C-alpha cells in the first residue's frame, strides 16, 4: 500500500453559450431556420435579433467581464481541480470550484437605416432561469465531476415566443463530464443541446466551437417541440483532448 498520498491537479475548463446576432431580415436567416414552418420562422427571426456578439475570452478576467456585460446565455467554469488519493488513510479528497451563471436575453429594438440595412438599440436584459446539478464520483483510479445545467428564457419571453412556436420553450442544456485520472491524465467530455452556440475552453484557451447556425431544420424542430419543463435533446458535442 502506498503510504505517500498521490495528488493530481487538472486544468480548468469553461463553456460559454450565446445566440449569434442577425438583423431581422428573413433573407439573412440560416436556411435551416428560414425553412422552419410558419409562424415558427418568425420566432427564429426574433431569436437571432435578440442575439449576442461572439464572446472573445482568453483569461479569467475576461470571463468575469463577459458576465458583467450580460452578453451570453450561459457561462460555466470548473477550476482548481485537485484529487488526493491517500491509500494509508483509505480516503480520497476532492476539491474544485465551479461557477454557473445563468445568462440573459438582450432586449434589442431594430430600426431600418436604408439600403436594406438595420441598426439596433439595446434597452436592457431579461434574466434567464434554470438550475444546475453537480456530482462528484471518486474511485480508486479516477475521479469524475459531472456538471449538468438547465437554462431557458424568462417566463414572460417564453409565453410571448410560444405564440409563434405553439410550444413553451424547453430547457437548453450544458453538461461537462470531467474525468481526472490517478495517473495524471485528464479527459473532458462536453454534452448539450444544439441551441445555443457554445465555446469550449481549457485553461482559457479556446479548443472548439459549436455553431447553432448550421444545425438542421429537424434538429430545430426537435428542440422546439421538446416542450416546457423538459430538457431539450442532449448531444455529445466535443471531447478533450
**Which residues constitute the domain of residue 14?**
6-240
Q: How far out from the chain centre does Cα 233 lie?
A: 14
CB 96 within 8 A of CB 81: yes
Say if 198 falls within a structural domain. Answer: yes
Neighbours of 91 (CB within 10 A): 11
Say if 186 falls within a structural domain. Answer: yes
Say if 1 falls within a structural domain. Answer: no
Say if 25 falls within a structural domain. Answer: yes
108 pLDDT above the threshold of 90: yes
2 pLDDT above the threshold of 70: no
Please give the residue that has the higher pLDDT: either 53 or 165: 53
- 138 CB-near residues (< 8 Å, 6+ apart): 83, 92, 94, 144
**Cα–Cα dist 205/8, whole Å:** 21
Count structural domains, the chain.
1
Say if 50 falls within a structural domain. Answer: yes
Say if 136 falls within a structural domain. Answer: yes
Cα angle 239-193-104, degrees, rounded to a multiple of 5: 110
pLDDT at 166: 85
Say if 48 falls within a structural domain. Answer: yes
Say if 145 falls within a structural domain. Answer: yes
Give me the sign of the Cα torsion angle 50, 56, 62, 63: positive
Looking at the chain, how many residues does it have?
A: 241
What's the pTM? Answer: 0.94
159-184: pLDDT as tens digits: 888 888 888 889 999 999 999 999 99
Average pLDDT over residues 200-210: 98
pLDDT at 240: 98
78-99: pLDDT as tens digits: 999 999 999 999 999 999 999 9
Amino acid at each position: 500500500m502506498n503510504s505517500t498520498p498521490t495528488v493530481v491537479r487538472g486544468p480548468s475548463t469553461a463553456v460559454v453559450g450565446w445566440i449569434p446576432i442577425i438583423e431581422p431580415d428573413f433573407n439573412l436567416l440560416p436556411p435551416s431556420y428560414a425553412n422552419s414552418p410558419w409562424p415558427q420562422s418568425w420566432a427564429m427571426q426574433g431569436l437571432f435579433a435578440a442575439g449576442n456578439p461572439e464572446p472573445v475570452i482568453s483569461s479569467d478576467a475576461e470571463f468575469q467581464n463577459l458576465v458583467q456585460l450580460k452578453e451570453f446565455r450561459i457561462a460555466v467554469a470548473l477550476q482548481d481541480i485537485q484529487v488526493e488519493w491517500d491509500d494509508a488513510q483509505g480516503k480520497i479528497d476532492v476539491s474544485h470550484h465551479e461557477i454557473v451563471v445563468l445568462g440573459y436575453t438582450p432586449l434589442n429594438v431594430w430600426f431600418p437605416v436604408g439600403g436594406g440595412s438595420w441598426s439596433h438599440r439595446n434597452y436592457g436584459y431579461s434574466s434567464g432561469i434554470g438550475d444546475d446539478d453537480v456530482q462528484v464520483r471518486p474511485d480508486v483510479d479516477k475521479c469524475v465531476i459531472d456538471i449538468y445545467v438547465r437554462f431557458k428564457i424568462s417566463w414572460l419571453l417564453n409565453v410571448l415566443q410560444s405564440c409563434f412556436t405553439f410550444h413553451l420553450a424547453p430547457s437548453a442544456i450544458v453538461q461537462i463530464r470531467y474525468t481526472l485520472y490517478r495517473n495524471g491524465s485528464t479527459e473532458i467530455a462536453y454534452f448539450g443541446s444544439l441551441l445555443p452556440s457554445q465555446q469550449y475552453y481549457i485553461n482559457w484557451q479556446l479548443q472548439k466551437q459549436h455553431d447553432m447556425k448550421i444545425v438542421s431544420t429537424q434538429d430545430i424542430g426537435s428542440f422546439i417541440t421538446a416542450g416546457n419543463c423538459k430538457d431539450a435533446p442532449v448531444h455529445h458535442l466535443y471531447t478533450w483532448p
